[in-house]
Amino acid sequence: MNVNLKYIIIFVLIVNNTYSQHLVKNISFIKKNNYIILTDVVIQGSTKKFNFLFDTGSSSSSISNNVFKQLNVTATDSCLVSDGMKKQYTPKTNINLTINDVLINNLTVNIIDFSCINSLKCLGIDGIIGGDIIGKYIWKIKTDTLIIGHKIKKLNTNYYSKFKLQLFSNTPVILAGFKDSYMATMLFDTGDNTLIAINNKEIQYIDIEKKITGYGKLYSTIFSNNIIDTMCILKPKKELSLYSHFYVSDINLDINYSDNILGTVGNKLLNYFDIILDYKHKKIYFKQKNKTYISNKEFEFKWIIDDENRVLISFIWKNSLAEKLGVKIGQQIISINGINLLDKSLTKCDIFLIMLDAFKKETQLKIKLKDNADLLIFYKKKLI
């Protein structure tokens, strides 16, 4: 080898290693419906900036079918992939991508049809950042800041407390439960829009103050739509506990009546804690910023959009006004707050965003159901 070329290669390796060791990078993101969406992801073969969901509950990264079609790459053999509820064979491909100019080479990603999941398609999500990428860096997650680095000492851990982090198939598992009582290992999933949810079999271990129950279909994953027949919300007597060290008082607890669902701590945990994730050293850091549960008011029913773009009642809480007015699962909503949902010019995503905004931002809903001349009025309220 030419001596000068040898020294050039050594110099480049040293520079790259130095850069890697000192990497501290602010990552561009937005929050939609509590999801963390990275907005500066570029894939080799395209000059477009893509939006990727930051999802600790996903063991591997994925791109949508639409993104795959834009790239000059080929699919490889299919592989069995799980979304936590169901397994399905999906094709894969290899890509090079950058996140805010941080280069990740030769990444194998799943190619998945996002079209069946409105929360991905209609929120403009092009792909998923999963555990294979998250595990390469240390991530500091705050309300308005997302930082990655290679060295924990570069990320300022003042006032943070450090705990052991378990990893299961490249996803983080933490210790959570209730003060002086039930504790269990639970998945920390930033792709799950909850605070804490557990399986119904675990109810027996929890001291309960109040309980409400609902029925219908309300849970979707990448491969499974509208599952779970029954769900309840509990108000435990004890405070939420992380590692028997941090506590959040007066919380509500989602109980999913399905044997397939693991205990989950979702992205609403970020309303109470700043978090640092370090997969490599199996550590998680918490800094508490809120000790009291942020009780959200909700409407007494939920909805889905079917393949014909019809908005259907999908879930109703028992003893609610909706139930007393005779609202039934499967009934079609034809207008909401004066907006005609039968307008043929509206796309599925138009309808999805209209419904999402109404349920998130409004305190009152005026709806009309098909085959019902009455205008029904509902008010957002604390369910428990």
Q: Is residue 154 part of a domain?
A: no
Angle, CA 304 vertex, CA 202 and CA 269 arms, to 5°? 45
How does strand 196-199 pair with strand 264-266? antiparallel
What percentage of residues in the chain have a pLDDT greater than 90? 58
Whether residue 31 sits in one domain with residue 136: yes
**Predicted pLDDT at 14:** 43
Q: Does residue 257 surpass a pLDDT of 80?
A: no
**Predicted pLDDT at 210:** 85
How does strand 240-242 pair with strand 196-199? unpaired
| DSSP conformation letters of 173-236 | EEEEEETTS-EEEEEEETTS--SEEEEGGGGGGS-EEEEEEEEE--B--SS--SB-SEEEEEEE
What is the maximal distance between C-alpha atoms in the chain? 86
Q: Does residue 22 surpass a pLDDT of 90?
A: no
Instruction: Record the pTM.
Output: 0.87
Whether residue 177 sits in one domain with residue 246: yes
Whether residue 167 sits in one domain with residue 141: no
Whether residue 143 sits in one domain with residue 36: yes
Residue 348 in tokens: 């599925």
Considering the chain, what is the average pLDDT of its residues? 86
Q: What is the pLDDT of residues 268-293, one digit of tens each?
A: 999 999 999 999 999 999 999 988 88
Whether residue 143 sits in one domain with residue 163: no
Boundary of a domain, candidates 83, 115, 149: 149
Boundary of a domain, candidates 149, 181, 201: 149
Whether residue 69 sits in one domain with residue 140: yes
Please tell me which of 214-223, 229-238, 281-290, 298-307 the model is most confident about, judged by mean pLDDT: 281-290
Whether residue 34 sits in one domain with residue 143: yes
**Predicted pLDDT at 117:** 78
Task: Classify 11 as helix, strand or coil.
Answer: helix
Mean pLDDT of 36-64: 94
**Predicted pLDDT at 9:** 44
User: Domain holding 179: CATH number?
Assistant: 2.40.70.10
Mean pLDDT of 107-129: 88
Whether residue 180 sits in one domain with residue 284: yes
Q: Is residue 2 part of a domain?
A: no
Q: Is residue 282 part of a domain?
A: yes
Residue 115 in tokens: 């079209």
Which domain does 185 fall in, by range? 159-288
Q: What is the pLDDT of residues 132-147, one digit of tens each?
A: 999 999 999 998 999 9
| 222 vs 34, higher pLDDT | 34
Boundary of a domain, candidates 288, 315, 330: 288
Q: Where residue 21 falls among pLDDT bands split at 50, 70, 90?
A: low
Q: Where residue 209 falls among pLDDT bands split at 50, 70, 90?
A: confident
Whether residue 59 sits in one domain with residue 101: yes
Q: Does residue 97 surpass a pLDDT of 70?
A: yes
Whether residue 187 sits in one domain with residue 103: no
Whether residue 163 sits in one domain with residue 143: no
User: Domain holding 375: CATH number?
Assistant: 2.30.42
Among candidate residues 87, 92, 283, 57, the one with its CA nearest the CA of residue 170: 57
Q: Where residue 38 falls among pLDDT bands split at 50, 70, 90?
A: very high
Q: Is residue 238 part of a domain?
A: yes
**Predicted pLDDT at 3:** 53
Q: Is residue 293 part of a domain?
A: no
End-to-end CA gap in the chain: 74
Whether residue 204 sits in one domain with residue 171: yes
**Predicted pLDDT at 221:** 56
Domain count, the chain: 3
Distance of alpha carbon 176 from alpha carbon 182, whole angstroms? 8
Q: Does residue 2 surpass a pLDDT of 70?
A: no
**Predicted pLDDT at 211:** 86
Q: Is residue 261 part of a domain?
A: yes
Q: Does residue 61 surpass a pLDDT of 60?
A: yes
**Predicted pLDDT at 212:** 86
Q: Does residue 71 surpass a pLDDT of 60?
A: yes
Angle, CA 50 vertex, CA 46 and CA 52 arms, to 5°? 135
| DSSP conformation letters of 321-368 | HHHHTT--TTPEEEEETTEETT-TT--HHHHHHHHHHHHHH-SEEEEE
- Which amino acid belongs to residue 298? E
